[in-house]
Amino acid sequence: MNPMDLATYGKNTWCPGCGNFSILSAIRSVLAELDGQMQSIENVVLVSGIGCHAKIVDLMNVNSFYSIHGRVLPVATAIKLANPDLTVICFSGDGDSLAEGLDHLVFAAKRNIDVTLILHDNRVYGLTTGQFTPTSPLGFKGKSTPNGSFEHPLNPPELMLASGATYIARGYTHGIGLLQKLFREAILHKGFSFVDVLQVCVSYNNLYEAYNKRTYELKDHDASSYEEAQKVIRSWNYDGSDVPIPLGKFYEADARRLDQAYRGSMPNALDRDNSISELLENFI
């Protein structure tokens, strides 16, 4: 399958130069490639929240559920529980999953539900035109914090590690090869996969220069070690400092998943009726 077969007539309204284009291109090629291999495309369901990131589903000729702001993961979780054969991929923003929907993110990791979440982490509210988010650095001057934000940023991979996610990685929208690799790994991983993508927002938080200077790809990192993962994740805290920013897979583990918890199929109507009558006997 050609990645362009996954395009739609939906109008792309991202700003020229937006990092979302890389994510779109990377996910199209990964899904096109997987279609020929282990996961045929009709088994894939995309779920998005609301924000610039979320528009990606309109640009993908793939099953999708364009949800509401912050509510990507409950939808995705239920789709996976409803039909564990589906591959569920979520696109979310830093406002979407770290502010409005933080509870769901922590719980998805805690449940280790077998879905993938790609965080378009531009560290700003794009669609509402430039307010600070949970990953904006301390002192960020956004529309709602004209004098600089007063809060330290969250470190999303650290939060995910603590919450029980079993695949944690970071990519950067300047580096599509690595993005593709991480997306593929995340999708194929069994369990909750979290890919934090440093997605540049050219309009409200253009960090190209800083990222180009400071990001580096991890080598010889032992992703099976929780301690090593924690160390590398903590080496950069999303603050404004100029420490190096690691990219790549931080952590991968195998653990029980919520989607393994539900077995059994629904009886036919006749058996159901009989079971209802039998059940009522208990109440006489």
Partner 1 sequence: MDNFSTLIGGIAGDGINEAGITVARLFCRLGYNIYMYYDYPSLIRGGHNFSLVRASSKKIAAHMDQIDILIALNQETIEKHAVRLKDSSFVIYDADKVMLEGITQKGCGLPITSILKEAGAPAVMKNTCILGGYCKVVGINWSILESVLKKHMEKKLEQNLLVARQGYDQAIESYRIDSLSSKIERNPLPIITGNQAISLGLIKAGLGAYVAYPMTPSSSVLDFMAKFGPQFGIKVIHPENEIAVMLMAQGFAYAGVKCAVGTSGGGFCLMTEGLSLAGMAEIPVVVVMVQRTGPSTGLPTYTGQGDLNFILSAGQGEFPRFVVAPGDAEDAYYWSAVALNMAWKYQVPSFILSDKIVSESQYNFELAGAGTVEEEATQQWSGQGKYQRYSFTDNGVSPMAFPPQKGQAIKTDSYMHDEFGITTEDAMLNKKMTDKRLLKERYLADDLERYEAVKVLSEGNGESAKTALLCWGSNKGVCQEAAEKLGLRAIQVLVLSPFPAKQLKDALQGIERLVAVECNATAQLARLGGFFGFEIDDRILKYDGRPFSLNDLESELGRRGI
Ligand X SMILES: Cc1ncc(C[n+]2csc(CCOP(=O)(O)OP(=O)(O)O)c2C)c(N)n1
Residues that bind partner 1 (CB under 8 A): 8-10, 40, 42-43, 45, 47, 50, 55, 57-58, 60-68, 71, 73-79, 81-83, 85-86, 103-104, 106-107, 262, 264-267, 269, 272-273, 275-277, 279-284
User: Does 174 sit near ligand SF4 (CB under 6 A)?
Assistant: no
Q: Which of 133, 136, 155, 215 binds ligand X (CB under 6 A)?
A: 133
- Report the greatest alpha carbon distance in the chain: 74
Residues of the chain by 3-state class (helix, strand, coil), percent to 5: 40, 20, 45
**8-27 positions binding ligand SF4, by CB under 6 A:** 14-15, 18, 20
Closest by CA to 218, choosing from 263, 255, 254, 171, is 171
Site string for ligand SF4, 56-95 (x = CB under 6 A): ----------------------------------------
User: Does 48 sit near Mg ion (CB under 5 A)?
Assistant: no
Instruction: Specify the stretch interacting with ligand X by CB under 6 A; choose among 8-16, 127-135, 167-175, 265-273.
Output: 127-135
Residue 37: count other Cβ atoms within 10 Å of its Cβ.
9
Q: Which of 41, 45, 52, 195 binds ligand X (CB under 6 A)?
A: 52
Give the type of residue at 78.
A
Instruction: Name which of partner 1, ligand SF4, ligand X, none residue 15 binds, using a CB cut-off of 5 to 8 Å depending on partner kind.
Output: ligand SF4
Print burial letters for 164-203: b (CB count within 10 Å at least 16), e (below 16): bbbbbbbbbbbbbebbbbbbbbbbbbebbbbbbbbbbbbb
Closest by CA to 92, choosing from 210, 229, 199, 250, is 199
